[in-house]
Amino acid sequence: GQNIDQPTEMTATEGAIVQINCTYQTSGFNGLFWYQQHAGEAPTFLSYNVLDGLEEKGRFSSFLSRSKGYSYLLLKELQMKDSASYLCAVRGRNSGYALNFGKGTSLLVTP
Amino acid sequence: NAGVMQNPRHLVRRRGQEARLRCSPMKGHSHVYWYRQLPEEGLKFMVYLQKENIIDESGMPKERFSAEFPKEGPSILRIQQVVRGDSAAYFCASSPDRGPTQAKNIQYFGAGTRLSVL
């Protein structure tokens, strides 16, 4: 089976930097995904890591360490519209194409 | 290119009725996935389909739930004889047929159908 843990809630200030951590235990590993989900809306794809290291995409970056079962999503220059739930998902080698999601981290950006 | 389209957005059913949820994948995508999200829970995988075939239904309850993706038309998730515990948001995702391996692994989600069972 797979176990994915991420903090339930985080609060940060507009213009700041925030790091959302995700740890996972999986039988086999075939990629880690981050999605953003605003209330009542579709999860939106942010990043996909399959190799160790940092992937940077504009204000958002994602890091992966397979040996530690650890990832983080880094959000820079926070904006009010970044207030949302951030979902970490892992695809295990033995789980086919299914994504296994954590419960999500609810981020509140304050003025 | 329109995104993944799900309808209806909201569906209310009484216990014992049937619920039909529809999903039209993005253009150029023939892989469809269904997930269920209960309150305070993460998205849970239910089933993966390609055109006319069920590839993986390991997350689907054995009774009352079925899914199809016909050659023509949207994918359908069908829940028979609904119970209160079926109340949840049901999300559909699709992934592309062609492209680099990394691109084909990305699933794009619809806005979901929120099912309420009275």
- B5-43 residue pLDDT tens: 999 999 999 999 999 999 999 998 989 999 999 887 889
Reported as a single tens digit per residue, the pLDDT across A47-93 is 999 999 999 989 999 999 999 999 999 999 999 999 999 999 998 77
- The Cα of B106 is separated from the nearest Cα of chain A by a number of Å equal to 8
What's the pLDDT tens digit per position in B55-93?
999 999 999 999 999 988 999 999 999 999 999 999 999
**Side chain identity at residue A66, one-letter code:** R
pLDDT, average across residues B39-52 = 90
**In the block, which residue shows the tokens 């981050």?**
A34
Are A66 and A48 in contact, with CB atoms under 8 Å apart?
A: no
Nearest-angstrom CA–CA distance, B4 and A74: 27
| Residue A38 pLDDT level (bands cut at 50, 70, 90) | very high
The percent of residues in chain A predicted with pLDDT above 70, rounded, is 95
B33/A4 Cβ within 8 A = no
| List of chain A residues whose C-beta atoms are within 8 Å of the C-beta of residue B31 | 97
Whole-angstrom Cα Rg for chain A: 13
Nearest to B107 among A4, A40, A99 (CB): A99
Kindly list the residues from chain A whose CB atom is less than 8 angstroms away from the CB atom of residue B25: none
**A14 at interface of B, judged by CB pairs closer than 8 A:** no
Distance CA B10, CA B55 (A): 27
Nearest to B31 by CA among B53, B49, B56: B49
The whole-angstrom separation of Cα A111 and Cα A78 is 10
CA distance B82 to chain A (A): 22
SS3 A96: coil
Name the most confidently modeled range: A105-109, B35-39, B95-99: A105-109
CA of A41, closest CA in chain B: separation in Å? 5
Q: Is B86 helix (H, G, I), strand (E, B) or coil?
A: helix
Q: Which pLDDT value is given to residue A27?
A: 78
DSSP string, A16-83: --EEEEEEEE-SS---EEEEEE-TTS--EEEEEE-SSEEEEETTEEEEEETTTTEEEEEE-S--GGG-
pLDDT of residue B60: 94
* Chain-chain contact of B112 with A42 (C-beta, under 8 angstroms): yes
Partners of A99 in beta bridges: none
Give the model's confidence band at B2: pLDDT under 50 very low, under 70 low, under 90 confident, else very high.
confident
Q: What's residue B41's pLDDT?
A: 85
> Which pair of structure tokens corresponds to residue B92?
């559909």
**Closest CB from B40, B56, B108 relative to A98:** B56
pLDDT score of B52: 86
pLDDT tops 70 at residue B1: no
Q: Does A22 touch chain B (CB under 8 A)?
A: no
Whether residue A95 is predicted with pLDDT greater than 70 in this model: the reply is no
Task: Identify which has the larger pLDDT, A89 or A29.
Answer: A89
